Structure 1
């Protein structure tokens, strides 16, 4: 992926200097193994990663001390990469919204280590990258990139770009109202039905990541041979069925919250080939 030299976003907030490794006060730091366990617990049993990390780190939620956010240093190549990918999502979605007669609001992307306060509660690295609709920010502990490469079998820069674009896809869903509609069903439907809605929301975010891929490649021609394959492989490795099979040797579709590997690949590919938001309507799709 030829990303060097492209525009960097001004919407990256660096909180990584907010304390010792892990960012905890009075708690234990979080290792890559804990991240993997939390992700598997989410995919296999539908357990909130916050619950898993609370148990593995010694009980209650850790107290977090947040340093003032700042712009990441230009010497940090990984942070420059994240800023460059985020800038590309800003350009693509601003154009798409403008063509639809609307104005896109850029999300913030927060870099942190271990744990950080968010409008959705304490964000923790064991959750993996996530988006908080309450403050319209994407949260990323970049140690997750090591987890992708070494634990989940999903290496490659464009695999990492796909993860960022997926989280930005959740921001697009917030702006378009899909997130609020799904959240509004909580407590009104069964857990199984709620899981099914969550799957459709996640697959739509995968499709939006594909839409970004389509338009960013048209604009920049920055993908090399193998880049798309690395993103498709990442979608496969974090599919619910793959995580479940890795942990238990069996698959429970009723516990899916993000979609199977095949579904994630299908919707990412659909967005990438079409470049169309309309092609990403997972909520009306008869088959996922």
Structure 2
């Protein structure tokens, strides 16, 4: 995205931009210690808070499953087995739902100007393909938002990072000790990063939906690409890691082909598992 167009978008929206910075754990969000994921995502140009930046998570069952379906982006009406756009941004990768249903998506973190504080954690209690079905859980335990007060600092303006305690994925109890215990039992998660300019839920929407996700988004064989994380060991996964991805993360792969939108063009990501 050209910088003048980015600035026009910001000024036209009339929003106030604050410098990014670390935040202390937010009371009431379920961040009570234990294992955590530290996520960093970087884009080809300054991020646009009017757009939508998702970190998608699938936890199938109490411990997760190595063979569970993963979360994938929604690109156009009907893709991913949906009738229309579904929730407008993501669904489960192709495969058998099983019993109980493995929808491929249980939680997500979203950076967008409409979030309290700019960033929020959400949980799906059931089918994620239903619009507005997610329940707000609070903020990540810590986060650093892109610093849009100095667009000449490309790294600062184009980078989002946060730490998510796995206890924040536990929604069946409010007891801190129980949250930590249940979080410690999680072995596998399927994750994805999706950036998009538009989250339509009506299949008759006329806007052009631009998307980038993990892997080469312009390769049809990789549109259902996602990453499986093993939480049993501390390690860092990066955008060059092909553990369960078909290829490293390329630049210039925003969907549809021919689109140039640096604000959603993922060029680097890392996910660190910590005890």
Q: What TM-score do the two structures reach when normalised by structure 2? A: 0.26
| Larger relative contact order, structure 1 or 2 (CA cutoff 8 Å, min sep 6) | 2
Higher normalized helix content (fraction of residues): 1
- TM-score, length basis structure 1: 0.25
Larger strand percent: 2
